[in-house]
Structure 1
Amino acid sequence: MSVEWSDVREPEIPGFLSVSRETADRLATYADLVRKWQSSINLISPRTLPDLWTRHILDSLQLFALRRGPSIWMDMGIGAGFPGLVTGICLAEVGDGWVHLVESNNKKAAFLRQAISKTGARASVLPVRIDEALKSLPQIDAISARALAPLTDLLSHSAPFAARNPAIRMWFHKGLDYAEEVRSARDLWSFDLVEHESQFQDGSVILEIGNLKTFN
């Protein structure tokens, strides 16, 4: 007998991530939507779909565990919503804070709007290119991105926001080659760096960056 995605029981969320039952249910709803829309829109790599919960949702959930509280976020080029929509779902539990999801692709933006509606995430979609987002967004506290671009490009996108708010923190999920990306970025930028080891992807990290400045 074939198994429908709606019949799949999501794994338990590890205790160190510490979310309510309601938030866990919201995340499960979000996972179902990704699976449903994946058949018509390439939201994530098809080979990672069987590991959606661990590889994408729990991996993204680590970010909220690292920075809890009602921050105002910008998430860049998020496609399926990782990690920004996961953060927005967690903020629904907090009852404060917001995530601005920057996504210029109309089909992916439509998916994100439905996901926000179905999960009650504290988030909204900004359907512009990243280099146009500065004109539309208020001052933000934090920036996130996952599987989007090399670190040097992410810092270039983030720099105008850092100039506006020197206290801003940036959080970027990176894979096995992150050390080389950091070395290349340090040729162009000065920044503080904390490396948070991923609990779900061997060799991967979440880079926490602050005090971003360009070399003159």
Structure 2
Amino acid sequence: MSVDNDDRARALRLTPVSRETQERLALLVAELVKWQNAKNLVSSATLADVWTRHIADSLQLFALAPDARAWLDLGSGGGFPGLVIGICLAEQGQGRIHLVESNARKCAFLRHAARVTGAPVTVHASRIEDIVGEFTEKVDVVTARALAPLPILLGWCKELLRTGTLGLFPKGQYLDAELTEASKYWKIQASTVVSVTDPAARILLIREAEQRADT
């Protein structure tokens, strides 16, 4: 599977980064392509547009919290946004991101890609609900991309959000419906930003979420 150079150029126009970071991201893409057939890391239909669909889509999250140093990515899968954020932290020379992924094959790729790119990443081969409590008061930002409906995400992240962690959750065109459903059970302090890669998608920024007493 070849990667479209025009797609790379478009992605870097949308989310500009330094030459050093571009080189690290190119290494990540190369490894993703090598491992894809064996590990099924991302949807094969998105590989031709990997720079826009995955790289730029992840870079925009880092741009929303560029001063954060301690990150947590839930359900990291093929490494988006976790590995991309780790690459951004590598350029800054400080910070670390923890990637939580229960699939052992994907964890092997995450560790390999982190070594190849020099990203400050720690991979946790675990179920989210078994480990997320260990990060309370220890991370600045928690991310989760294409992982679960908002009410489930809030259940996993409630203690993190209670102690000041910022939640950054990319969502698609059905975000309003998810917010309506979640509001039945949660009081949420949140805002949204339109995605730079898809005008129909938004990024949900959650600063606080409190479970309603009557649920």
TM-score normalised by length of structure 1: 0.91
Q: Which letter maps to 2:158? A: A
- Counterpart position of 2:174: 177
Aligned-partner residue type, residue 61 of structure 1: L
Query: After the TM superposition, which segments of 4 or more aligned residues of structure 1 sit over 6 Å from their partners?
Result: none
- CA displacement, residues 20-54 of structure 1 (integer Å, 9 cap, x when unaligned): 11011101110111111111111111111111110
Task: Return the alpha-carbon distance in structure 1 between the equivalents of residues 192 and 104 of structure 2.
Answer: 34
Provide the aligned length of Structure 1 versus Structure 2.
211
How big is the shift at 1:11?
2.0
- The alpha-carbon deviation at position 203 of structure 1 amounts to 0.3
Equivalent residue of 1:159, what SS? helix
Find the counterpart in structure 2 of residue 157 from structure 1. Answer: 156
Quick check: 53-62 or 14-23, which moved more?
14-23
Partner of 1:192: 189
Q: What is the Cα deviation at residue 70 of structure 1?
A: 3.9
> Among the aligned pairs, what percent are the same residue?
41
Q: CA RMSD in A?
A: 1.9
Q: Does 2:117 correspond to 1:114? A: no
Structure 1: runs of 5+ lacking an equivalent: none
Q: Deviations over 1:158-192 (max 9, x none)?
A: 012233x2x21100011111110111111111121
SS of the counterpart of 1:190? strand
Superposed, which structure 2 residues align to 1:13-24 within 5 Å? 13-14=11-12, 17-24=15-22
Show the counterpart of 2:202: 205
**Alpha-carbon distance, 1:194 to partner:** 1.2
Query: Paired residue for 2:141?
Result: 142
> What's the offset of the Cα at 1:71?
2.2
CA contact (8 A) 1:70 1:91 kept: no
Aligned counterpart for 2:82 among listed residues 72, 81, 84: 84
Per the TM alignment, residue 81 of structure 1 is displaced from its structure 2 partner at its CA by: 0.8
Q: 2:71 is matched by which residue type in structure 1?
A: W
* Maintained 8 Å contact 2:133/2:159: no
Q: Distance between the aligned counterparts of 2:56 and 2:202, measured in 1?
A: 13
- Unaligned 5+ segments in structure 2 are none
